[in-house]
Structure 1
Amino acid sequence: MGKSQKKKSMRRHNPMRVPDSHLPHGLAAASESSSKTNEILPIIQKMESADASERRWACVAVSNIIQNDPATRRLLQGRNVVGALITRLSDSEEEVWVEAMGALRNLCIDGGYDICAEMYNKNILTPLKAFIPKISTTLSQLLENPKTSPDSAKKIVYELAENVITTLWCLSETSNKALNAINDIQLIPFLMSFLAAKHILPLATVTSAAQCLYVLTDDNFPAIKELRTDAAYLACLLELAKSEGATNGKQKELDNKAVALSVLSAGILRNVMPIPPPSVASTLDMDKDIILPLLQPVITSISLHAISDSVQELLQRQATEPSLEKLSLKGTPQSDHKTDIERQLDSLEARLRTVQLSLEILTGVCATLPDPESDVSPDQEEDEDEDEDAEIDEAGADDAEGGDDVEMDADEPESKKSASPSFLPNLVLPLLQLIQPTALSFPPLSSPSPHPPTTSALSAVHISALECLNNIFLSLTISPPENVAKDVQSGVSVWNSIWSALQLVGTQTGTGQERRQEFWEIAVGALWGIGNVWKGAVEPHAEQVQVLMQLCDSTSDERLRVKCVGTLECLAQYPTAIEQNKNIAEYFLGLLPTAGPSRVGTEPMIQAVSALIDIYSDETLPYDVNFRQGNFTSVLASSLDGVKKAIKAIDRRKEGGNDLRRRGDLVRENLVEFIKYRKSLKL
């Protein structure tokens, strides 16, 4: 299993804060799904009004009307609201373009990639570029003479800056084309100026700049180079990363924005590693000295079930309170139109997003452990790891639901040859708690979430925690420390805890259930890692074996099929599980290309062949009786031609084709030798 520092296809921004994949496509469908169809036309019309107050009203109304309402957002999209708002960015009245910018920013956050792509295609970068020097000049004046500037003027420029920066952040994740265009703007000095003035500017504005920097430095060399080579920038980030390091597990007593700013700063520093001298940061072990002391308390200080309960309680209160008429034409709505309950809901969502961000960074930490046999420097290994294929993902309850307690001793001295730093076991327990779903995490299609942003954030935390667990156990697979490998009870407890979560998540598939499916895909990878660390020690249960087989048969994703086969292979090696070993082996034999191509595809078939060789390489094990009684030697021999043909048909021009062909050839050679060996035993 190869390691990877980066999973380049993953982007940091949540693709859609208010998911809408469950909705049918098309204007007519959106109109039927939205309860605000009749309010759309007045908004679009007043966007073009000669009266500036009406234009401002229309811009604010867009933000109000799309809140937690994907159907109405789609309907507005169909009426070219994006193009209308971009036009308003050049409005003659400041209040209008400020509100238009706010509406565009909210559309970015709520609408995800599609709306961001539309904005890019409609040339939003031209007005955004024009705003940047204006914001810089105004901010400089405010900071030089703060007493001479009215609070209202400060508020406008701070909000405008936050909205512009957040929109740029979202756009940078839309496509490489958009990212390259944003690189050309050379935003780094502009964004760092906010972090440098962190003690003066509002925390929300500074945090938005840090979020944008975090995204821009994610595998984006121009931004990385500019930050990496500026000692002042690095010193500023280091100070911010250290500022909330000593949280002692009391995150809820701190301002979440301050914690988020520290987490983002640590993430930026990690993105730009390795840091060259003479920066102080170059002398630090970034993961050990900065990342872990900061992030471990963040992920252990939150109860997802408590947050879920709080959200449901707030929603019940909201349902009984009189609603404000946000779109009344009698009075112009305000930008800060949210009620106290809505602000509390936003605050809870923000805490979840901070935990998700922490998990993303920790997932990267766990993906870059040194190989035990390697003597290369960490810097050399970072470069080499970039070229390896990725099995490890980059980036994701209460014990009552989470299975047995896990006791992994992390205090024993670490061997120099260990691939597993002692912090890994310390992370396992909190991560297992964070994968346990709540009532709001994965609502069924028949009953949409009562608060989609919370559901989106909760499911993102579960998945990020799973990704981190996946990396931990794949890293441990490389060379399990003796104290971990011997602790079979911990392995079984972790295994059971993940299955407990899977049972609660359920197997509902279809439109709108993408997060549920993603949870399963990552969980199977984690199970494979656990099975490898404690190979032969996890007893197979018939229902779990059946679920893995059904998943392998039903999915069209060959990589997920490989994970299913790999996990089943580990279960089949429990010495005394004779019946389940037979069940799994017969399933694998059914994947071989005897009378035609394998029904699961070439890569999973190769994995199945390799698994059969591994399972039956020791003829003294109790379950080897299945091999002899089933005459598996003959079955394998009859599949040789089909295996050879399938491997020769691998397209080397496709991504990963060369590696798969090499592996296939090796497995085929091993199969030939294995058949010879089993025949020579004459059992």
Structure 2
Amino acid sequence: MGKSQKKKVMRRHNPMRVPDSHLPKGLASASKSSSRSNEILPIIQKLESADGAERKWACVAVSNLIQNDPSTRRLLQGKNVVGALITRLTDSEEEVVVEAVGALRNLCIDGGYDICAEMYNKSILTPLKTFIPKISNTLSQFLAEPKNSPDSARRIVYDFADNVITTLWCLSETSNKALNAINEIHLVPFLMSFLAARDKLPLATVTAAAQCLYVLTDDNHPSITDVRTDGSYISCLLSIAHQEDIGTPEKKDDPKSVTLAVLAAGTIRNVLPIPPPSAASFLDIDKDVVLPLLLPVISSISLPDTSNAVQQLIQRQASEPQMENLSLNHAPKSDHKTAIEVELELLESKLRTVQLALEILTGTCATLPDPEPDLPVNQEDEDDEGACFILITIELMLIVWCLEIDAGDNVDVDMNTEPETTVTESSSLSFLTSLVSPLLALVQPTALSFPPLASPSIHPPTTSALSAVHISALECLNNVFLSLTASPNPAISSDVNSGLTVWNGIWSALSLVGTQTGLGQERRQEMWEVAAGVLWGIGRVWKGNLIPDGEQVNVLIHQCNAADDPRLQVKCIGTLECLAQAPSAVEANQVISNYLLSLLPNPNSPSTIATEPMIQAASALIDIYSDETLPYDTNFRQGNYLEKLAACLQPIKNTVKTIDRRKEGGKELRRRGDEVCENLGDFIQYRRDLRL
């Protein structure tokens, strides 16, 4: 069971804001499902108009029409709106260029990877690169002579910069090909200039720069190196992470200031280890910066309250007069938003900040650091020490949390005490006890999290953000319990009540998620995929103490049978294995073991599942029946499992031999398969020697 790794090929910080996978493919279907299809042709025509005012109007119209409307977005995309807007980036009219960038930015955010890939393939980077020095020069003039620049002019440039940066951020997540092209631009100095002048610039623009920097430094060594080699960059990021020098009191109270701090902390973590002589190289970034900042963030929001607030706002919006159809004479401004729309975006922004914090915490809670290809040996040693600290931290955190569940004690904090692994001395890190409970709360779906296909979401951006928060919280929990399985702690595993609290909390969430599949239900399936890993981790920590529930066992079996992903099947089998080892659960043990046996190949039929889960099933049966003194061992004897396993041994070996070592992960899977075959042979001989 591996930790939650960052995806290397398809980057994932910015999931599609308005999901459209539930919509049928094709232009005809998009035209039928869009209520604005009659307005598309005039827009496309006016994008090519000789009149600059009409071209500007068309760009603004695109931004307005795609808002929360995936059908219209698809229809526009089918009419080559992306290519038309990219052409407008070299328009002779500056206002048209400004509006075209804004429309492309909105398409990036709402449309996700497909549209970003189309933009990259249509060479959007060529005009975008020319904007960067122009923005830098203009901002330098504004900062040098602020009184000589009208507010309206500054606002246009700030918005323009925000749109360009956000588009580059989205493009960098499209593919490694796009990322490599963006690396050649060397954006780090440009982005850091916004962060350095944060007290003089709009918070939204600075936050966009911080978001782009965070993404570019995620497992991307050119940008990591650019940040590491300038000590002033590190100092600036640390200052922001500590929420210093944000600017006016209004800025400090703005929720974006929290987002900015979280992004700075995430960027610092991305570029670890920080080389001397920077003062930050002597800090424990996770302990001193990341955890103290992020734990309050994930505890600061109530998902049910947010969901209810969105529903109330949508009801109010439905009762208010709608904006009239677009007309050339009364074109709305591209930044025109009603008060309700502003409130909805604020709530979505808070959800995205929590998601971001969870994403960073997931890395913090990982057992081992991601490998760095160019690290000197001493830096690798420093990373190992950091990983050890996180592992001990998680153990202590769970210990204190367990104590609070059982006794309701409030543990005093002594920040000067060295961390130890005993319960009595765990108070030195009791400031971390707030992690598990808020994670469990963030896992629980709301009414807007996973709407059924027959009833689409009343506000897709909120639904997308909520489901992303749930999945991110599960990924964090996955790494928490993986860390605990890597270093078992008797103080935690002996507290069965705490284990049941977490176990029941996950199942409570899954019961609300349901098992609906099909188009538009991809996030439900992703929820199950991550949750299965969490269940397996909990099962391993409290193995033998979780009494199987018949319905839960059936759901796990169903998920394993229905899954197309071998990794999900492995997780389900691993969880079933842990449940089968509850000594008193004789009946459940029989159900699980019979199912696992059915997954193995035999002389008469091949395995019904992929090779990796088949190997896991064989390994599970060995572990379940390795102790013949347990009450459920009667199932092994009465079910004639010994002879059934003996008959499966050679077919399993034959299947393992077919593993292609040249494929990704093939070498490791073959090694694992050979090991299980050898263990199974020894296990069969051991059981025969017992003569039971």
TM-score band w.r.t. shorter chain: over 0.9
Q: Once structures 1 and 2 are overlaid, which stretch shifts more, 595-604 or 530-539?
A: 595-604
Contact 2:207 2:256 in 1 (8 A): yes
What's 1:298 paired with?
297
Q: Once structures 1 and 2 are overlaid, which stretch shifts more, 47-56 or 156-165?
A: 47-56
Give the TM-score normalised by the residue count of structure 2. Answer: 0.91
C-alpha separation in 1, matches of 2:217 and 2:124: 22
Deviations 1:573-625, CA, capped at 9 Å, x for gaps: 00000000011111111111102321111111111111111111111111111
CA apart distance, 1:385: 12
CA apart distance, 1:422: 6.6
Structure 1 residues 72-151: aligned runs within 5 Å = 72-151=72-151
C-alpha separation in 2, matches of 1:638 and 1:423: 55
2:381 maps to 1:380? yes
Instruction: Report how many aligned residue pairs link the two structures.
Output: 657
What's 1:522 paired with?
530
C-alpha separation in 2, matches of 1:111 and 1:370: 33
Deviations 1:85-120, CA, capped at 9 Å, x for gaps: 111111111111000100000000000011111111
CA apart distance, 1:323: 1.1
Contact 1:61 1:327 in 2 (8 A): yes
Counterpart secondary structure, 2:329: coil
Deviations 1:245-304, CA, capped at 9 Å, x for gaps: 99xxxx999421000000000000000001111111111100000000000000001000
Contact 1:116 1:174 in 2 (8 A): yes
Counterpart secondary structure, 1:185: coil
Counterpart secondary structure, 2:184: helix
The amino acid that maps onto 2:352 is: R
What's 1:168 paired with?
168
Contact 2:493 2:541 in 1 (8 A): yes
What's 1:394 paired with?
none
Gaps of 5+ in 1: 387-403
C-alpha separation in 1, matches of 2:607 and 2:33: 43
Counterpart secondary structure, 1:198: coil
The amino acid that maps onto 1:343 is: V
CA apart distance, 1:27: 0.7
2:616 maps to 1:601? no
2:591 maps to 1:592? no
The structure-2 alpha-carbon separation of the partners of 1:424 and 1:245, relative to structure 1 and needing over 3 Å to count, comes to farther
CA apart distance, 1:409: 8.3
Deviations 1:150-203, CA, capped at 9 Å, x for gaps: 011101110000000000000011111111110001111100000000000000
What's 1:317 paired with?
316
The amino acid that maps onto 1:674 is: F
What's 1:451 paired with?
459
The structure-2 alpha-carbon separation of the partners of 1:384 and 1:6, relative to structure 1 and needing over 3 Å to count, comes to farther
C-alpha separation in 1, matches of 2:547 and 2:571: 18
Deviations 1:628-670, CA, capped at 9 Å, x for gaps: 1111111111111101101111110111111111111111111
What's 1:472 paired with?
480
Structure 1 residues 328-347: aligned runs within 5 Å = 328-347=327-346
Same amino acid, percent of matched pairs: 70
The amino acid that maps onto 1:621 is: L
Contact 2:241 2:262 in 1 (8 A): yes
Deviations 1:315-362, CA, capped at 9 Å, x for gaps: 000001011225122223212211110111001000000000000000
The structure-2 alpha-carbon separation of the partners of 1:530 and 1:422, relative to structure 1 and needing over 3 Å to count, comes to farther
Counterpart secondary structure, 1:330: helix
C-alpha separation in 2, matches of 1:626 and 1:266: 53
Contact 1:407 1:490 in 2 (8 A): no
C-alpha separation in 2, matches of 1:28 and 1:97: 31
CA apart distance, 1:50: 1.7
What's 2:556 paired with?
548
Instruction: Select the structure with the greater relative contact order (CA < 8 A; seq sep ≥ 6).
Output: 1
Contact 2:581 2:589 in 1 (8 A): yes
The structure-2 alpha-carbon separation of the partners of 1:16 and 1:445, relative to structure 1 and needing over 3 Å to count, comes to same
The structure-2 alpha-carbon separation of the partners of 1:426 and 1:18, relative to structure 1 and needing over 3 Å to count, comes to same
C-alpha separation in 1, matches of 2:409 and 2:273: 31
CA apart distance, 1:368: 3.7
The structure-2 alpha-carbon separation of the partners of 1:368 and 1:242, relative to structure 1 and needing over 3 Å to count, comes to farther
Structure 1 residues 109-508: aligned runs within 5 Å = 109-243=109-243, 254-325=253-324, 327-368=326-367, 379-380=380-381, 382=383, 414-415=419-420, 426-508=434-516
CA apart distance, 1:54: 1.1
The structure-2 alpha-carbon separation of the partners of 1:618 and 1:370, relative to structure 1 and needing over 3 Å to count, comes to farther
Contact 1:326 1:333 in 2 (8 A): no
The amino acid that maps onto 1:575 is: P
Structure 1 residues 581-660: aligned runs within 5 Å = 581-594=589-602, 595-660=604-669
What's 1:564 paired with?
572
The amino acid that maps onto 1:380 is: D
CA apart distance, 1:415: 3.8
CA apart distance, 1:12: 3.8
Give the TM-score normalised by the residue count of structure 1. Answer: 0.92
C-alpha separation in 2, matches of 1:530 and 1:151: 56
